[in-house]
């Protein structure tokens, strides 16, 4: 009985120490915007460019970077995709623990066939994702991404006004970071490393 009490005592002490260790862990510092505990951006349910239905939960264990854009965007979208690809290069081996997702805000023109060419051209592991217009709208709202399709011109071409942030989930599937177009590659690499360390 004394031995049992001793063991329980050690277990309680271990739990107490574990708790102390956790509370003493230094707060994580980020160069991009820390949006931990935001009540929105809980997840998504979209189709990837291979035709498979994907949810945020499918990527548990990886940091997930989600960027909203459209392929008829000549400037900011390819620049952001390129920047995220550079971040993957900067991460080296750790890039295997990161999934970058491009969500189209223009599913009418960005067909799976277009996304299959466009998205992996920046980095072979990147996934393009799409949904019908209703789900695209709901997903953008969930992430507070404003977008608006403009009226087509005589040739049928139209642009899409949109916000250009990328969002980062940690490997536990919690929304953590907001990356704007102004954040440099180094900041993204550093913050992803911090998230992966946990």
Determine the length of the chain.
198
Supply 47's token pair: 């189709």
Identify which of residues 54 and 109 has a Cβ nearer to other proteins in the complex: 109
| Residue whose C-alpha is closest to residue 168's, from 98, 104, 111 | 98
Strands 98-104 and 63-69: parallel
CB of 121 to other proteins, least distance (A): 4
- Chosen residue from 157, 172, 184, 186 binding other proteins by CB under 8 A: 157
Q: Does 109 bind other proteins (CB under 8 A)?
A: yes
CA distance 114 to 22: 46
- Chosen residue from 118, 130, 143, 169 binding other proteins by CB under 8 A: 118
Contacts of other proteins in 42-81 (CB under 8 A): 71-76, 78-79
| Residue whose C-alpha is closest to residue 158's, from 77, 71, 37 | 71
- Chosen residue from 162, 177, 179, 188 binding other proteins by CB under 8 A: 162
CA distance 125 to 75: 22
Residues in contact with other proteins by the rule CB under 8 A: 71-76, 78-79, 82-83, 86, 109, 113-119, 121-122, 146, 150, 153, 155, 157, 159, 161-165, 180
């Amino acid at each position: 009985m004394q031995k049992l009490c001793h063991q329980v005592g050690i277990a309680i002490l271990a739990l107490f120490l574990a708790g102390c260790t956790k509370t003493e862990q230094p707060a994580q510092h980020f160069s991009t915007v820390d949006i931990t505990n935001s009540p929105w951006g809980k997840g998504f349910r979209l189709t990837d460019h291979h035709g498979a239905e994907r949810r945020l939960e499918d990527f548990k264990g990886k940091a997930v970077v989600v960027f909203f854009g459209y392929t008829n965007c000549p400037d900011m979208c390819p620049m952001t995709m390129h920047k995220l690809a550079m971040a993957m290069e900067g991460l080296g081996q750790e890039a295997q623990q990161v999934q970058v997702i491009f969500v189209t805000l223009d599913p009418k023109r960005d067909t799976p066939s277009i996304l299959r060419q466009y998205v992996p051209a920046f980095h072979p592991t990147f996934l393009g994702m799409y949904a019908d217009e209703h789900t695209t709208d709901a997903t953008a709202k969930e992430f507070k991404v404003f977008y608006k399709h403009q009226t087509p011109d005589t040739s049928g071409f139209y642009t899409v006004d949109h916000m250009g942030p990328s969002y980062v989930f940690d490997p536990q599937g919690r929304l953590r970071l907001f990356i704007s177009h102004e954040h440099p590659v180094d900041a993204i690499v550093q913050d992803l490393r911090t998230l992966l360390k946990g």
